[in-house]
Amino acid sequence: MKKYFFGLILLLLLLSGCNKTEEVSYELCGYGNMVSFDGVGYVQIDPDQEKYRLGKKVGVIQEKIEDTLHPINHLTSNFLTEGSALYISDENKNQMIAKENGKYFLFEKISY
């Protein structure tokens, strides 16, 4: 009886180890074009001006994911290609400006 009980416990332990799943790093996106920077999401907004005053360069996009996903990892985007430069706006600290192939895109911090 003890062997049966011990075998059952061992089997349950082995099976529970098989259920481990990797942490999901993305989810479906309902916001549109986004950038994730330092754990904060930024969504692309329509610019109300033609020119921007770039602040400090804070990084470059390291990973582009599918456009239907919500970026979560640092320096990830579902819109911008890898290598696109990111700047904090000199006019609004809640906005980032991305430069990709000579074009500029405005993003605003998401307030949850």
Residue type, 101: N
The answer to whether 63 and 73 are in contact (CB under 8 A) is yes
The beta-strand segments (E) located in 1-112 are: 27-28, 34-37, 40-44, 54-60, 63-64, 69-70, 76-77, 85-89, 95-100, 103-109
CA distance 104 to 98: 6
pLDDT given at position 84? 98
Instruction: Give me the tens of pLDDT residue by residue for the chain, a chain 112 residues long.
Output: 555 554 555 444 444 444 444 444 455 567 799 999 999 999 999 876 678 889 999 999 999 999 999 999 999 999 999 999 999 999 999 999 999 999 999 999 998 6
pTM value surpassing 0.85: no
CA distance 87 to 106: 10
What's the sign of the alpha-carbon dihedral 83, 23, 33, 66?
A: positive
pLDDT given at position 9? 55
Q: ∠ at Cα 46 (61, 106), nearest 5°?
A: 30
